[in-house]
Amino acid sequence: MNGKNQIKRIRVPARCAWLFVGMWMTISVSQAQVCVSGKVTSAGKPLGSVRVDLCSADSSGLIQYTFTNQFGQYRFDGIQLDQIVLRFKALSYNTLNEPVLLKKTDTILNVELSAGGVERLQEVLVHAKRPYRLGRDTIELQTSSFLQGDERTVEDLLRKIPGLSVGNDGIIKIGDKEVEKVMVEGDDLFGKGYRLLTQNMSVQPLEKVQILQRYSNNKHLKGIENSDKVALNLSLKADSKSQWIGSAAISGTPVGKQYYSGSINVMNFGKKNKYYLLSSANNNGVDAVSSINHLLYSGQTDEAGQIGTEVTTPTIIDNSLELPGFDYRRTNFNRDMLHSFNMILNPLEHLKVKWLGFVNLTKKSFYRNTIQTYHVEDISFTNRENNEFSKEANNYFSKWELQYDIDKRSTLVYTGNLGSLQRNDNGSILFNDVASKELTWGKGVLTNHNITHTFKVSPSAALVSSARWILQRSPLDYGLDQYYYEDLFQTKDVANVTQHIENDLQYLGITSQYVKKSIQGDYLELALSNEYKDQKLLTNLFLHTNDGQALSPNGFNNYLHLRSNNSSILAKYTIKRKKWELTPQLRAGFAASRWGDLSTENQKNYLQFSPSLSTRWSMYHKGKLEATFSLRQNNSELTDIVPNYYTIGIRNFVKGLDNIALLTNYGGVISYTHGNLLDRFFGSLSLGHHTFSNYISTSSLINPNFTINRQIVLKNKKSSFFKAQLNYYLKPLNGNLKFDVEGRYSSYETAVEGLGIRQVHTDSYDYGLSFRSVWRSRLNIYGGYRIESKSYTVENKMQLKNTYGFLQLFLNMGTGIQANLKNESYRFGDFMGSKSKAYYFSDFSISYDVKKIKTRFDITAKNIFNNRTFQQALLTDTYQAITSYQLLPRYVSFGIYYSF
């Protein structure tokens, strides 16, 4: 058995390596290419922001252009001509043309500009036919080139741009990289909570979408930090600036069950002040706020001077519904209401004020039936559960930011927020024909304050310091009016079970970080940080008897007080040469932790070391190879050391370790990229492997009426993955073809009480192929197919295979009439003795756009085939499950959309 497993682990990386080599050889076939670089000076001093044009030998055609950096340096890569002309242009300097005869080796050309020329450029109007403009760090896209007529929101437009992907949750990615923020006219309202903007703002006023590469959130670090972040900026039409504009939409069903949707967006984006107001309500399945976490806990973990950006109280009971790979709106029986007011003010020349506030009142319901089959050696039984669940949430949140420029080299930024988060979950459960009610309710509060000071020491160095304070309270009460635990507690005559939870956090963190870039491009980063966390977790479980007594069973109550102080230092240095760079990094720290209850206290001190080494090689003009190798150490969290059991929902109990554990893992990732967003071919491939020297696993006690999970520390978990994505523009078909494939493999151990340690192997594969047309015709299509396969090997191998296909047709009939048909198909492979079953969905909409009055009328039909249930399968190392979900029925709605 061990021999077979070893062969399998060796064969998988080999398969990935052949895939990597094949892709590299296929893409890298190109002509010999050289580069031209140099330095521009005047009177012996370097000149920045000089435009350098690379033209053909007769100076008639512009091939590329760039600008010199702050050190006067410029560079062109991948030149295939024999003779070129470089033209150097800058205000207050005479234009210089330099012919260059290229050789097989790279060419260096340093030039000296003389004072003279024009002091001010005249206004120039350029009428470009291309749908994009490529700058040094900016890709500028004309929105009119991607509009097909059915777009309403910014998100609808972004889905049409090749190279951009928008998930069902609204997250925007370019390749594997998530967008940092979406700005409007250069100003940011929501940070990583940009979905509040993109899912609601009208597309009508947009003129351009700018993709900002190597983006810096801190303006003083632009050109200093080695950033690979990406952001989007929305540029408005001239007649939409500095005035009140917006849109209003309303739709509803005339007969049958009433489904409705209404929204109004009002905005004014002036040069100094910006306002954005939003109000919406619906019960047709759409989340008013997909996720508020990015608004509540905003910040950049990998940005200079940031600290405490992911600190929050742990989630104890989570009743969220997860349907991976399926449109959540079909199962979301909701009633959402959102009101949001946001503004950016510039009361003084050096002062900018931002304020964001929203109220979100929502109720969501879902209905599911689950059949769970356990078969672990001699443990074998089946549970059936019908669940009708409703979740009510009342969220109130405000955030403010003050940005003050002390002088040209120094800026002070203060950010604060205050939120009230209230939840009330109500579940009606039929478990093995026994009915019960489950209630979870709580009202939490969160306040988060951060102050950051940036001082630009020189044009190539800066010092960023910040301090953050967080206070969060997340109390929770849980109740179950049925008693399933007689075998566990050996107590009879129990009417109901309750649990009270106090979950508090207080945090204080300070950091100071120095960054510097040398003339050669070498980059230095030094940081000192200190973080203090004070966390309290109280859980009290009570068994309420029929005679009114409240029993508190031993081993099922907790009072845990954890105080930790972590001091750390970060040292990072990037050595950069022409085509490659090497970055060694070391993060070292000293952690002191004290934890215990009212009577006892434990203490543990330890050192942490997390070194890494990364490299980047520009193999040729469009090819880039990157690799990172790291060793990481981190300590266990609060819920990992809870000494006694607590419930996380009906029939599930967990407890933590007996001590704080220092967890260590090491591994590497290597990735290859060819091309960029605007190339006809854009592809990437990543391979990775990690070994966990020790990790937290579980030891489970399985009973038909309950499951008890005890956390344990085991050794030698292994995990590997590969991921490839290919984007190719098919010119004969005028469309973008996208192929992506992903595979993940892991080997680890778990334990079952009475059976001991069990070896688990998991494999998963995901293949996808899609095509989106950009035809200049009345008809356009978007279609694709995806295959997902997952297997678990414990005593036996269990495998599950699912497929998903879709085809969307868009037809522009002229005179303002557009029609849209979206078809989806889901199929599950043979599982648990059931035959393969397919589900088909179809949605249709037709709209009539009356441009004279800026109004659109539409008719929408959802779930035309009127599917009322949907089934998904799940595999784990201990059980198999089939879950059926109730779907929103077929309905037809009429709507009006008006822009002003």
pLDDT digits (tens, 9 = 90+) for 298-318: 556 677 888 988 899 999 998
When mean pLDDT is compared across 13-17, 567-571, 756-760, the lowest value belongs to 13-17
**What dihedral angle (degrees, nearest 10) is formed by the CA atoms of 485, 488, 490, 493?**
-10
Structure tokens at 520: 């050669």
The answer to whether 886 and 871 are in contact (CB under 8 A) is no
Helices (H), 381-537: 486-489
CA dist., res. 529 & res. 437, Å (int): 48
CA dist., res. 652 & res. 643, Å (int): 16
Check pLDDT > 50 for residue 546: yes
SS3 253: coil
If you write DSSP's letter for every residue of 363-406 in order, what string do you get? Answer: EEEEEEEEEEEEEETTEEEEEEEEEEEEEEEEEEEEEEEEEEEE
Residue 587: what are its φ and ψ, rounded to 5°? -115, 120
The H or E element containing residue 520 is none
CA dist., res. 547 & res. 709, Å (int): 31
Residue of 687, 580, 573, 669 whose CA lies nearest to 630: 669
Structure tokens at 695: 């990790």
pLDDT band at 765 (very low <50, low <70, confident <90, very high): very high
The answer to whether 424 and 441 are in contact (CB under 8 A) is yes
Burial-class residue 641 by CB neighbours within 10 Å (0-12, 13-18, 19+): buried
Percent of the chain residues past pLDDT 90, beyond the cut? 51
Calculate Rg over the CA atoms of the chain: 30
Residue of 451, 454, 481 whose CA lies nearest to 466: 451
pLDDT at 831: 57
The answer to whether 399 and 417 are in contact (CB under 8 A) is yes
CA dist., res. 439 & res. 496, Å (int): 11
Q: Provide the residue count of the chain.
A: 900
Taking phi over 0 as left and psi of -120 to 50 as alpha, with beta for the rest, 63 belongs to alpha
Residue of 191, 259, 286 whose CA lies nearest to 231: 191
CA dist., res. 264 & res. 250, Å (int): 9
The answer to whether 272 and 346 are in contact (CB under 8 A) is yes
| Cα distances (Å, whole numbers) of residue 406 to 272, 403, 410, 744, 879 | 19, 10, 5, 50, 61
pLDDT at 833: 57
The answer to whether 207 and 220 are in contact (CB under 8 A) is no
The answer to whether 401 and 353 are in contact (CB under 8 A) is yes
pLDDT tens digits, residue range 12-45?
A: 344 444 444 444 443 343 334 578 889 998 888 8
pLDDT at 60: 52
| Cα distances (Å, whole numbers) of residue 176 to 148, 739, 765 | 26, 14, 17
> How many other CB atoms are there within 10 angstroms of residue 3's CB atom?
7
pLDDT at 25: 40
**Distance of alpha carbon 216 from its chain centroid, rounded?**
18
Structure tokens at 470: 């967080």
| Cα distances (Å, whole numbers) of residue 348 to 109, 403, 406 | 46, 11, 12
pLDDT tens digits, residue range 495-522?
A: 999 999 999 999 999 999 999 998 888 9
End-to-end, the C-alpha distance of the chain in Å comes to 70
SS3 171: coil
Check pLDDT > 50 for residue 815: yes
Mean pLDDT, residues 664-685 taken together: 89
CA dist., res. 218 & res. 303, Å (int): 9
Task: Tell me the β-bridge partners of 418.
Answer: 398, 447
DSSP annotation of 878: S
When mean pLDDT is compared across 4-13, 125-134, 139-148, the lowest value belongs to 4-13
SS3 425: strand
> How many other CB atoms are there within 10 angstroms of residue 129's CB atom?
6
If you write DSSP's letter for every residue of 548-570 in order, what string do you get? Answer: S-EE--TTSEEEEEEEEEEEEEE
The answer to whether 262 and 250 are in contact (CB under 8 A) is yes
pLDDT at 9: 37
How do beta strands 523-545 and 494-517 pair? antiparallel
The answer to whether 696 and 728 are in contact (CB under 8 A) is no
SS3 36: strand
891 or 302, higher pLDDT: 891
pLDDT tens digits, residue range 71-110?
A: 888 888 767 667 788 888 887 788 888 888 876 667 888 9
pLDDT tens digits, residue range 719-740?
A: 999 999 998 988 888 889 999 9
Residue with tokens 């984006």: 269
pLDDT tens digits, residue range 363-379?
A: 999 899 999 988 888 88
Residue of 631, 738, 624 whose CA lies nearest to 670: 624
pLDDT averaged over the chain?
86
SS3 25: helix
